[in-house]
Structure 1
Amino acid sequence: MNLNIRQTVMHNVKDNNIEQLQDTIVDSIQREEEQLLPGLGVLFEIIWKESAAEEQQRMLQTLENGLKH
């Protein structure tokens, strides 16, 4: 079985509005289920690719700070 996680995730959320996207992200994080992590990774990949260099640096700083707690 050839499962393309990127295509599946993008297909499942492509028509979602902002509130639905937020609900998807929050629900995935709150459920703490390992099988949801790849989907969050796909969403983060989209965010990263669509972000300017300054925004990427801000995300990296946020990530670094969060890992220190």
Structure 2
Amino acid sequence: MNFNLRNAVLSNVSGSSQEQLENTIVDAIQRNEEKMLPGLGVLFEVLWKNADEQEKQHVLQTLEKGLK
């Protein structure tokens, strides 16, 4: 059996409002469970693929700042 986690996550959040997406992200972070990390990774992938170069630079700067 081949389970595609990426497609499962995308299917679960497809059509979500901004508020629902925020709740999903906040909940995943607050739970602090390792099993939530792949889902957050899929959401980050969507963000990255849909960001322009300026938005990508902002994300990278924010990550760099947060990791110091």
Q: TM-score interval w.r.t. the shorter chain?
A: over 0.9
Q: Deviations over 1:6-65 (max 9, x none)?
A: 100000000211110100000000000000000000000000000001110110010000
CA-based RMSD of the aligned residues comes to: 0.6
TM-score by length of 2: 0.96
TM-score by length of 1: 0.95
* Structure 1 unaligned regions, length at least 5: none
Tell me the equivalent position of 1:3. Answer: 3
Tell me the equivalent position of 2:42. Answer: 42
* Structure 2 unaligned regions, length at least 5: none
- Stretches of 4+ aligned residues off by more than 6 angstroms: none
The percent of aligned pairs where both chains have the same amino acid is: 59
